[in-house]
Chains A and B, each alone.
Chain A
Amino acid sequence: MLILEDISFSAQTETGRKEILNHINLEIDDGFSVITGPNGGGKSTLAKIIAGLYRPTSGKIYFNGVDITDLDITGRARAGISYAFQQPVRFKGITVKDLITLASGKDIGVTEACAYLSEVGLCARDYINREVNASLSGGELKRIEIATVLARGTGFTVFDEPEAGIDLWSFNNLIAAFEKMRAETRGTILIISHQERILNIADRIIVIANGQVEKTGDKGQILPGLFCDGQTCSVMKNKK
């Protein structure tokens, strides 16, 4: 379980200091949680704070009862937190197999590395020796990114907008991969997403807007109202 206690984060902008997250209190239990909400609401910032890429301005983070606020990225990773980047990072010379091997933390063979690629719908033999560089498409990089966190096999994984930048065909594979993870993983999966199909497989939905937790609850409670609160829906209501 991950507890975020009174987490705030502010950043310097051209027009002065801006509050991105404002006193967030959240408990993220085992299972499949999805954070959603409008763009610019602070979702990705929260994911980066959990993974240690950003330090909160104030507040505490507890992971399985341990205060991890002062742990850096490596410390969080070694404590059992994985993070899938929204924009996967490219490397010159590092191959897909290298990256999956580093992620697994041991010298895995080609067969095992290929198994992770197959899970995200990539034909392993076409990719295993390719460099993780600009020759790969956005969708391919995204799926390789997800394969690296699968290879880590940690108890807590954060995915920052896994659907961003991938085509519909890749997206179907992605949903299948998440459904499989949901069925097999005993730990916590936290996904930042706008996608209804991802929200549909959530146990729990957290809505973040304007740097605050707007609402949180089981999918059954949150999902029905989620797409009717927007402007389009109110227009349709008025037409009635």
Chain B
Amino acid sequence: MLDLNQIDLNLLETIAGISEVPSGAFNIRANGASAGRASSENVEITPKIDKPGIDIRIKPGTFGETIYIPVVVTQDGLQDTVYNDFYIGEAADVVIVAGCGIHNSGCSESRHDGIHAFHLEKNAKVKYVEKHYGESTGEGTNVMNPTTLVYMAKNSYLEMETVQIKGVDSTDRITKAELDEGATLIVGEKIMTHGVQHAGTDFTVDLNGKGSSANIVSRSVAKDRSTQVFVSNIRGNNLCHGHSECDAIVMDEAVVSAIPQIVANSVDASLIHEAAIGKIAGEQLEKLMTLGLSEKEAEEQIINGFLK
């Protein structure tokens, strides 16, 4: 069994949906150390020698496996930086469930910086799911700064679903991707901030290969006095298609910035950016109120739907 207490287990359930030891390959990191690890026939997980982190090697043609690599931090004041490298073999088709949960009961800053690099070989297909969640019982703050580097070979496909809903006081997310011929990157990001939290998210995508495409969609809600900055830069360097969309609901005294950039370095690049920031539409509240919901209940439903 894993050496985890009930708080760790609750966090794992919240961020990765796991309540027991996963059946396939997994690595659970708790308070800066491995709390459990297993490889499978097709997925080899080994610790790095020169720095904290793991290498995940997925054999070519692996199909239908789900790999769990969640992180929990319950020791307040812990500053944890981890480097995880994923090597996804040719034509493999897998799901990777990551995520980070921090429970901070002290008054210091707890911090987890995950630096993930994905190397997708030809025709590889990955769905990557990442949830970030924090809870504090003291005055300590929870900080998560994930960096994701993506290298995509010919005709590979990566779908990233990232969610940060609650309890992360500060985050700066950096995502950089390079796509070869025919590769497809799909990103769906959901962020909610409240109190005085800050969330920054910064995408740089190079569409290098002919027929490559990227679709970056960010939906966010900023409440209270929280701040959010969305930055995206899609560079079309060949015949390619790029689309980014930032859609934000701003409430109370929150501040949201969207700074999109699209660069066509090729006459055959087709690039679009859409950005919309605004408060909840009055007629949406009115409609739900005519169904018997209070204004507050209506607001919650609208936000829940928006971030679903």
9 contacts between A and B (CB under 8 A): A74-B294, A74-B295, A77-B291, A83-B290, A85-B283, A88-B287, A89-B287, A95-B305, A105-B291
Determine chain B's interface SS by DSSP, over half rule: helix
B204-236 contact mask (Cβ, 8 Å, vs A): 1 or 0: 000000000000000100000000000000000
Q: Which residues of A contact B288 (CB under 8 A)?
A: 102
Contact present for B290 and A92 (CB under 8 Å): no
CB-CB under 8 A for A77 and B292, given A89-B284, A91-B284, A92-B247: yes
A53 at the A/B interface (Cβ < 8 Å)? yes
Q: Which of A60-107 touch B at CB < 8 Å?
A: 72-74, 76-78, 82-83, 85, 88-89, 91-95, 98-99, 102-103, 105
Q: Which residues of A contact B284 (CB under 8 A)?
A: 89, 91
Contact present for A102 and B293 (CB under 8 Å): yes
A143 at the A/B interface (Cβ < 8 Å)? no
> When chains A and B are docked, how far (Å) is the Cα of A92 from the Cα of B281?
11
User: In angstroms, how far is the closest chain B Cβ from the Cβ of A40?
Assistant: 21
B275 at the A/B interface (Cβ < 8 Å)? no
Q: Which residues of B contact A8 (CB under 8 A)?
A: none
A148 at the A/B interface (Cβ < 8 Å)? yes
Contact present for B291 and A102 (CB under 8 Å): yes
Interface size for A (C-beta < 8 A) is: 26
A51 at the A/B interface (Cβ < 8 Å)? yes
Contact present for B305 and A93 (CB under 8 Å): yes
> When chains A and B are docked, how far (Å) is the Cα of A105 from the Cα of B291?
8
CB < 8 Å neighbour of B290 from A73, A93, A94 = A73
Q: Which residues of A contact B281 (CB under 8 A)?
A: 89
User: In angstroms, how far is the closest chain B Cβ from the Cβ of A89?
Assistant: 4
Among A72, A95, A103, residue most surrounded by chain B Cβ atoms (within 10 Å): A103
Q: Which residues of A contact B187 (CB under 8 A)?
A: none
A152 at the A/B interface (Cβ < 8 Å)? yes
Contact present for A94 and B291 (CB under 8 Å): no
Contact present for A77 and B289 (CB under 8 Å): yes
> When chains A and B are docked, how far (Å) is the Cα of A238 from the Cα of B283?
47
CB < 8 Å neighbour of B305 from A73, A85, A94, A103 = A94
> When chains A and B are docked, how far (Å) is the Cα of A74 from the Cα of B301?
15
User: In angstroms, how far is the closest chain B Cβ from the Cβ of A77?
Assistant: 4
User: In angstroms, how far is the closest chain B Cβ from the Cβ of A131?
Assistant: 8
CB < 8 Å neighbour of B291 from A92, A95, A103 = A103
Contact present for B308 and A73 (CB under 8 Å): no
> When chains A and B are docked, how far (Å) is the Cα of A72 from the Cα of B281?
18
> When chains A and B are docked, how far (Å) is the Cα of A176 from the Cα of B294?
33
> When chains A and B are docked, how far (Å) is the Cα of A188 from the Cα of B234?
57
CB < 8 Å neighbour of B289 from A73, A95, A98, A105 = A73
B307 at the A/B interface (Cβ < 8 Å)? yes
Q: Which residues of A contact B302 (CB under 8 A)?
A: 91, 94
B154-180 contact mask (Cβ, 8 Å, vs A): 1 or 0: 000000000000000000000000000
Contact present for A72 and B283 (CB under 8 Å): no
